[in-house]
Amino acid sequence: MSDANPLGEHPSTDDASRTLTRLAARNLGHGFGDGTVLEDISLAVEPGEILAVVGPSGTGKTTLFRLLAMFEPPDGGTVEVDGEDVWEMSDDQRLAVRRRIGMGFQTRSLFSATVADNVAYGLRVRQSWGTRVRTAIEAALGRNDPAPTIERALETVGMGDKLHRDARSLSAGEAQRVAIARALAPDPDVLLLDEPTSNLDPRNTAAIESAMREARNRGIAVALATHDMQQARRVSDRTAVLLDGTCIESGPTERVFERPADDRVRRFIDGKLVY
Ligand SMILES: Nc1ncnc2c1ncn2[C@@H]1O[C@H](COP(=O)(O)OP(=O)(O)OP(=O)(O)O)[C@@H](O)[C@H]1O
């Protein structure tokens, strides 16, 4: 990848308590059966930035994000957290690292309960076993009050007034916003969002984009996969363009859009490269 800035400096953040986490792919390759889907991808998402990974449908964005989320090991290359190969870590270490990553993937994943319960679930699964036991004991003693965290996460996506709604009664856009609130509630260091606004109207899209900016401003490293170039332009600090499983260009968003080095990127921006 040309100007991937894979070793860029950590930007500053106003949240001094946050662990700054840098998630990177280095020379990543992956395939299914005999087919290669990703080839030699190197990119990183830094704390306090939004990285957009853009490319046409079927180009490998979801596959890349699943590897970054450590769902499975890559066929080649490495996924690194702060320079450490996650697949060289012990299972416990890798689990601890995964707990610091929030994920919003395309599938509708809310379960049949209130909006607040769905977001609370995001908090519980991110806790270590020891913390979960402590939380359960404190809950039994009436000492814990997770409500402010849940409310704050829902407010971030503009759903603060829907705490007690049944998640099944939400529109697709609202459900998507709750799924993002669930990923944000544990205050992750990294947030991976795969097509978070596909098929949503402008109002829901704007709410989700605003949540991404707020996460970035809190020092979270946000990676967004999207086929929508205009969305990348609106929200991201850096853009990486994926085509046929390779990264053909990356750099500061403004530069990629104003002066793309690769002609295919220019045509993709202009809507002339159709897949
Ligand atoms: N589990 C799998 N088994 C076989 N092929 C797969 C699997 N997952 C993805 N693929 C193939 O890998 C290619 C890339 O798919 P991927 O979902 O990563 O693309 P994408 O850029 O996210 O597309 P979209 O924007 O449509 O979601 C596609 O050709 C897809 O059919």
44-74 pLDDT per residue, tens: 999 999 999 999 888 999 999 999 999 999 9
| Number of Cβ atoms within 10 Å of the Cβ of 270 | 9
Task: Report the atom number in ligand 1 closest to the C-alpha of 242.
Answer: 21
Q: What is the pTM of this model?
A: 0.86
Fold of the domain built from segment(s) 1-100+190-275: Rossmann fold (3.40.50)
* Cα distance between residue 126 and residue 222, in whole Å: 18
Question: How many Å lie between the centroid of ligand 1 and the Cα of residue 38?
Answer: 10
* Cα distance between residue 73 and residue 77, in whole Å: 9
- Is the shortest distance between the CB of 227 and ligand 1 below 6 Å? yes
From residue 164, alpha-carbon distances to 146, 151, 275 in Å are 15, 11, 43
- Residue located nearest, by CA, to atom 7 of ligand 1: 32
Ligand 1 pocket test, candidate residues 59, 105, 242, most atoms within 8 A of CB: 59
**Sequence ranges of the domains in the chain:** 1-100+190-275, 111-187
- Residue located nearest, by CA, to atom 1 of ligand 1: 32
Mean pLDDT calculated for residue range 266-272 = 83
pLDDT of residue 144: 53
Prediction ipTM score: 0.94
Question: How many Å lie between the centroid of ligand 1 and the Cα of residue 75?
Answer: 15
Tokens 């978070």, located at residue: 196
Question: How many Å lie between the centroid of ligand 1 and the Cα of residue 271?
Answer: 22
192-227 pLDDT per residue, tens: 999 999 878 898 899 999 999 999 999 999 999 998
111-131 pLDDT per residue, tens: 889 999 999 887 776 655 566
- Residue located nearest, by CA, to atom 23 of ligand 1: 58
Q: How confident is the model at residue 2 (pLDDT cuts 50, 70, 90)?
A: very low
